[in-house]
Structure 1
Amino acid sequence: MKASYNALLITVMSTLLAHTTYAQTCNSQIKKVVPDTRYQIIEGSNGSEVKDIKTGLIWQRCSVGQMWANNQCYGTPQSYTWSEALQKTKALGNGYRLPNVKELQTLVEEACVSPAINETIFPTTAINDYWSSSPKTSDNRYAWSVNFEEGTVNSASIYYKTAKKFNVRAVRNSN
């Protein structure tokens, strides 16, 4: 009886910890590199898409797996292996795809952490790694990701590329 209680307690605690939300911290001494004014809401998207005026890219405001409603992202961002992420974003249609590492880096807000992104434009972004479509040039067994806890760029190993699941944000080119 005690063993099943302990197993239940561990399951409950793990679930609570996995869904812990963090308050974003920003340094007012650092000028924001991705302010709200850099983005334009796409007409006809109900606010679910924004255009980055600097790059011309159109981003989904929610992570894949979440739903946009009432100016907010609802639900839990889903995690995918690298190949699943490539397939999932393409399956969204409308020209959506997995961003390359340089494109994904343009979302990093250097003045903030937990998450290191503009939370007004991209609410409830997970403070996890997000896949890019970029394999590492020197060894294509690796793929690049961006971690939005601190905005760091990481190279995930083949183990991670094929087995580890990261979050995904979809992008498309403007028409």
Structure 2
Amino acid sequence: MFERTKIIFLLVVTILLMTAVSCDQGSGKKSEEPDSISVDDSDTELETETKTSHGFPPNVQRWPLVGTGQYQCFDHEKQIPCPSIGEPFYGQDGNHQIGVRSYGVNDDATVTDILTGIVWQQGFKTDVSWYEAKSYCDNLSLAGFSWRLPTTHELKSIVDYGASKPSINTTAFPDTPSDWFWAAPVRHNQFGTTETAWIISFIDGQVEYTARNNFYNVRCVKID
């Protein structure tokens, strides 16, 4: 009799536990997740181009791997001879030299990036707001082409991270100031407004955003 009572008690406890779990699962509770995701990444906010599922515009997907321009190697303190496979600090950009930069300087004040195929304005305009920069490129009359502001991807592709002040090939792009340049995408803040835009530094290649009424530089890119 005692054994039978014990078995019944265990069955009742098991049923109660199963009922409690089932109720909890059906209560509508979920793991904590944000209601929405606001993406502020400069590489995905490309107003002027159609996005893909990967977040990259179509022209960027056609590019080969673009090198950084960094030919030197470093340890945690200083520059070192580039190490061999298996040695400490092996695997830096200076080891691989992938996507070596190459530019064609044309006779019409344009520069062709041989690696990406992008055609750039060789010159630039200084001291303009984002609005003025966009208008300048939209209305630029150069070499018989139509022009626009470059995207952040495009502008970063000509940053030479092996150089500084300015961090760019000065043979292809002479007199480039060590300063910030405007990019096309605006940056949407959490309230959905578009008061800021992305800028790229040709001091050291840094990417930042700023108010669109600030004054920086612009170099236009040819519309394909």
Q: What interval of TM-score do these two structures reach, taking the shorter chain for normalisation?
A: 0.5 to 0.7
Secondary structure (helix, strand or coil) at the match of 2:127 reads: coil
Aligned to 1:151: 205
CA positional deviation for 1:141 = 2.0
Q: Percent same amino acid among aligned pairs?
A: 28
CA positional deviation for 1:97 = 1.1
The amino acid across from 2:132 in the alignment is E
Aligned to 1:80: 128
Alignment of 1:16-95 (within 5 A): 29=72, 31=94, 38-42=102-106, 44-45=107-108, 48-64=109-125, 78-93=126-141, 94-95=145-146
TM-score by length of 1: 0.65
CA positional deviation for 1:79 = 1.2
CA distance, structure 1, for counterparts of residue 203 and residue 132 of structure 2:
23
The amino acid across from 1:144 in the alignment is W
> Are residues 38 and 27 of structure 1, via their aligned partners in 2, closer, same or farther at CA, if it must alter by over 3 Å?
closer
C-alpha deviations, 1:68-127, integer Å up to 9, x for none? xxxxxxxxxx21010010001111132111111111111100101111111111111111
Secondary structure (helix, strand or coil) at the match of 2:217 reads: coil
Q: Which has the higher contact order (CA 8 A, sep 6+)?
A: 1
* Runs of 5+ consecutive residues of structure 2 not aligned to the other structure: 1-68, 74-93
* Runs of 5+ consecutive residues of structure 1 not aligned to the other structure: 1-25, 65-77
Is residue 109 from structure 1 mapped to residue 109 from structure 2 by the alignment?
A: no
The amino acid across from 1:63 in the alignment is F
- Greater C-alpha radius of gyration: 2
- Give the aligned CA root-mean-square deviation in angstroms: 2.3
The amino acid across from 2:205 in the alignment is G
CA distance, structure 1, for counterparts of residue 122 and residue 199 of structure 2:
18
Secondary structure (helix, strand or coil) at the match of 1:104 reads: helix
CA positional deviation for 1:33 = 7.4
TM-score by length of 2: 0.52
Aligned residue pair count = 128
Secondary structure (helix, strand or coil) at the match of 1:144 reads: strand
CA distance, structure 2, for counterparts of residue 92 and residue 33 of structure 1:
34
Aligned to 1:171: 221
CA distance, structure 2, for counterparts of residue 152 and residue 125 of structure 1:
16
